[in-house]
């Protein structure tokens, strides 16, 4: 009962149900648009319907011609959180001030979720995934099937769980310990040899190779497992 009452009180006070002396809605200060623009600028690659609900803040000492919105250290953009408003140059020439605004940020978008339980190191296929509408919990959610199909899962995923970009990696074209062709190309010459890869690498990744002569070289892994080294 106490927990329920405390939660109701929090919603009323923080999300605007109760106005206390010395407080105002952040939207009344003209900051709603600034806060919404800031959040969208931080997650430009995630499409969807963005809603920023602002709470109450202390009245600033003076107006600010050019407020700056920022994310406090340790803060997060989506869900219930806090954004800061900094005024480096108040209109009356007084010292700078900072306000912290309670916000709820909701991003409704297309989520790519697992259609069944998936094990680590699985190369994803279309039948492993499905799209559904929902609220993003993090800004790095996968919103397009094409961003996941053909990628490798770094960890196990439960059925219905939304995928994040940090759960995926590209397929390795070079594996540690593998013998790989090494090509050195320059102006008017081409040298080919072989060596042992010292690390796993996807196409475009940097890979170190120990050549047959014992030298260590660094190159870029190609689509077919060759390593190209700049002279």
Q: Which CATH number do you get for residue 202?
A: 2.30.30.760
pLDDT recorded at residue 29? 52
Helix (H, G, I), strand (E, B) or coil at 89: coil
- Asked if residue 216 and residue 195 are part of one domain, the reply reads yes
- C-alpha 96/C-alpha 177 separation (Å) is 58
- Asked if residue 101 and residue 25 are part of one domain, the reply reads yes
- Asked if residue 160 and residue 64 are part of one domain, the reply reads no
- Asked if residue 213 and residue 134 are part of one domain, the reply reads no
Domain span holding position 51: 2-107
| Bridging pattern class, strands 206-211 and 79-87 | unpaired
Last residue of a domain, one of 63, 83, 107: 107
pLDDT recorded at residue 71? 93
pLDDT recorded at residue 93? 81
| Bridging pattern class, strands 227-229 and 179-186 | parallel
CB under 8 Å, gap of 24 or more: what pairs does 196-203 form? Answer: 197/227, 199/174, 200/172, 200/174, 200/175, 200/176, 201/172, 201/173, 201/174, 202/169, 202/170, 202/171, 202/172, 202/173, 203/170, 203/173
- C-alpha 114/C-alpha 131 separation (Å) is 9
Question: For the residues of 152-198, what is the DSSP string, one character each?
Answer: EESS-B-TTPBPBGGGEEPPEEE-TT-EEEEEEEETTEEEEEEEEES
- C-alpha 102/C-alpha 88 separation (Å) is 21
Per-residue tens of pLDDT for the chain, all 231 residues: 444 433 433 333 333 333 333 334 444 456 778 888 888 888 877 888 988 888 877 777 777 888 889 999 998 889 999 999 898 888 888 889 888 989 899 999 999 999 999 999 999 999 999 999 999 988 899 999 999 999 999 999 999 999 999 999 999 999 999 999 999 988 888 989 999 999 999 999 999 999 988 899 999 999 999 999 988
- C-alpha 213/C-alpha 157 separation (Å) is 44
Total tally of structural domains belonging to the chain: 3
């Amino acid at each position: 009962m106490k927990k329920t009452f405390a939660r109701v009180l929090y919603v009323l006070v923080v999300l605007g149900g109760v106005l206390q002396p010395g407080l105002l809605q952040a939207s009344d200060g003209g900051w709603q648009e600034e806060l919404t623009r800031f959040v969208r600028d931080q997650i430009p690659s995630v499409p969807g319907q963005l809603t920023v609900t602002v709470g109450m803040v202390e009245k600033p000492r003076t107006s600010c011609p050019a407020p700056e919105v920022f994310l406090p250290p340790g803060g997060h953009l989506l869900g219930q959180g806090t954004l800061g408003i900094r005024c480096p140059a108040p209109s009356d020439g007084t010292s700078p001030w900072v306000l912290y605004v309670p916000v709820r940020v909701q991003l409704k978008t297309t989520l790519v979720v697992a259609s069944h339980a998936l094990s680590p190191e699985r190369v994803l296929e279309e039948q492993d995934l499905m799209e559904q509408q929902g609220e993003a919990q993090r800004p790095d959610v996968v919103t397009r099937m094409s961003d996941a199909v053909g990628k490798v899962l770094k960890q196990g995923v439960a059925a219905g769980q939304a995928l994040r970009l940090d759960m995926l990696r590209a397929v390795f074209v070079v594996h540690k310990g593998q013998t790989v062709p090494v090509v050195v190309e320059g102006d008017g010459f081409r040298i080919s040899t072989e060596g042992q890869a010292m690390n796993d690498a996807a196409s475009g990744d940097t890979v170190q190779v120990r050549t047959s002569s014992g030298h260590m070289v660094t190159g870029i892994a190609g689509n077919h497992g060759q390593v190209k080294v700049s002279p």
